Structure 1
């Protein structure tokens, strides 16, 4: 029996979270597979955990205080799952990502091709037209468009990602240093450094919309004080975390250059508007 731990972290997106869970429970798994769901409730106040308990009582809910955000919430869910048992796979899913029928089956099939020693990711498309790829694997920082064939990538978004046990035993958990974003990028780049391959399945595996507007920290329509405040929020562009990521993977001088350019951009955001 091969066992999969599905990992999520949620905050006040009840309807999306419930749809995400519904799609997970509608997946057709191979006969020899079993799925457990570990979900970090990062201080929801909209009734999300109560609704989950009612509709999906088998979900393992880990309660937090609302200060973990995505990366640290996923870290907690993963840590909890790994302490429970040594799962064969760990599957990252964003709670605003709605996976398609046979998505997990496709991920497992791809993992088997690579002897369960590679990270497998799936692309997402927009929820309205299904014509635009929004998240997934990346090559040279560019989103890889599925072409029907599996594609090797060198960076990943964390929306739909399958981590085999072999990889987890080498890389371990997400880096707790990161609060919200960047942890998925860091994990993928750590994998590349460790010689672990990453592949994107040849067809989109789910739907997830991107933010249509500029982030507040770099939006010239937002007053400077608000931009400055948002810059340093975990879901903004915290300069220290950006420096940590780039110092680790691109070197000190690249990290230093971008550290200062972030502050320049928050002060003069129109310079970056084409």
Structure 2
């Protein structure tokens, strides 16, 4: 490896033939206490094949106060990874913004969750779907469950009905063709540099959830193509089914459920109101209140808080 390579440039660049149009891609990741998964995700990034000549990748990892040695393990296994450790109070949205601030501001960026295992041709598929990288585009990679039975994360279609609030409906990827979508999950998303210049990075109003949905809807409003790449580009199990420690855990009281619901992990009121007001029009107040009211009703129907 050349000693003159800039800090953070991935060894993936060594596998790419020289020449052609350079494509600088900054891979933005956030992790917390998932050492094995994080290492596997970065390994899958290094194993990418079929990339255009001249592609250069940098991996920027924000370690949110991991106590399991994640940061040191990544530095040892992938010494060219740009690793920065921050507090445990930094979640996905804020971590992705920190990673973006450390990246080349003119680079295309790939949001990559630390529990995603990319298929070897995933990045090449995202680049092909984006088309000419001189144009604005946001490209989403659909994820499947580890048992291969279902789609877990993908793009979304915005469904409008005069009698009901707008909703996001998940799109199943086509095996051969890209699909237009209106929003996305942020598990594996390529944002071209021209799109980034228009949209910026994730809105700091969303420290964890909702930032990816907001970004997709802002791209839609700005007229920037939001595309779902063909096929499933990786595996990532759906974490929404886990209820232990969440507001949906059975047997907890109203106060406990609401405390969990308004935490940064779930539906903190300020970001949630920003999202509703920005994207839901006249329906915003009703949709904003609904998760809190629903949680209270569900808890009180089962038990009362001591």
- 1:123–1:146 CA contact under 8 A, matched in 2: yes
The CA distance in 2 between the partners of 1:262 and 1:143, in whole Å, is 20
1:219 positional shift: 4.0
In 2: Cα distance, 1:113 partner to 1:173 partner: 20
Count of matched residue pairs: 268
The question of whether the paired residues in 2 share the 8 Å contact of 1:220 and 1:269 is answered with no
Superposition pairs of residues 134-145 of structure 1, within 5 angstroms: 134-140=152-158, 141-145=168-172
> Which position in structure 1 is the counterpart of 2:291?
262
1:166 maps onto 2:194 in alignment: yes
Give the superposition deviation at 1:146: 1.4
For residues 195-274 of structure 1, the aligned pairs below 5 Å read 195-211=223-239, 212-214=241-243, 216-251=246-281, 253-269=282-298
The root-mean-square deviation of aligned C-alpha atoms, in Å, is: 1.9
Looking at structure 2, the residues matched to 53 and 164 of structure 1 have their Cα atoms a distance apart, in angstroms, of: 27
TM normalised by structure 1 equals 0.92
Alignment pair present for 1:11 and 2:32: yes
Larger-gyration structure (1/2): 2
- Which 10-residue stretch deviates more, 40-49 or 222-231? 222-231
Residue 263 of structure 1: how far off its partner (Å): 1.9
Deviation readout 1:38-96 (Å, 9 max, x if unpaired) = 111111111000100100010001221111201001011011114xx521x10000001
Q: Tell me which moved more, 107-116 or 60-69.
A: 107-116
Q: Rate the CA distance shift 1:255–1:113 in 2: closer, same or farther, 3 A.
A: same
Instruction: Show structure 1 runs of 5+ residues with no match.
Output: none
Equivalent position of 2:45 in the other structure:
24
For 1:269 and 1:247, the matched residues in 2 are separated by 26
Contact 1:37 1:59 in 2 (8 A): yes
Say if 2:136 is the partner of 1:117: yes
* Higher helix proportion: 1
- Would the alpha carbon gap of residues 271 and 132 (structure 1) be closer, same or farther in structure 2, given more than 3 Å must change? farther
Contact 2:48 2:121 (8 Å CA) reproduced? yes
TM-score scaled by length of structure 2: 0.83
Whether the aligned pair in 2 keeps the contact of 1:20 and 1:97 (CA below 8 Å) is yes
Provide the rounded CA distance (Å) in 1 between the counterparts of 2:299 and 2:137.
41
Shift of 1:2: 1.4
Kindly tell me: are residues 271 and 213 of structure 1, through their superposed partners in 2, closer, same or farther at Cα, counting changes over 3 Å? farther
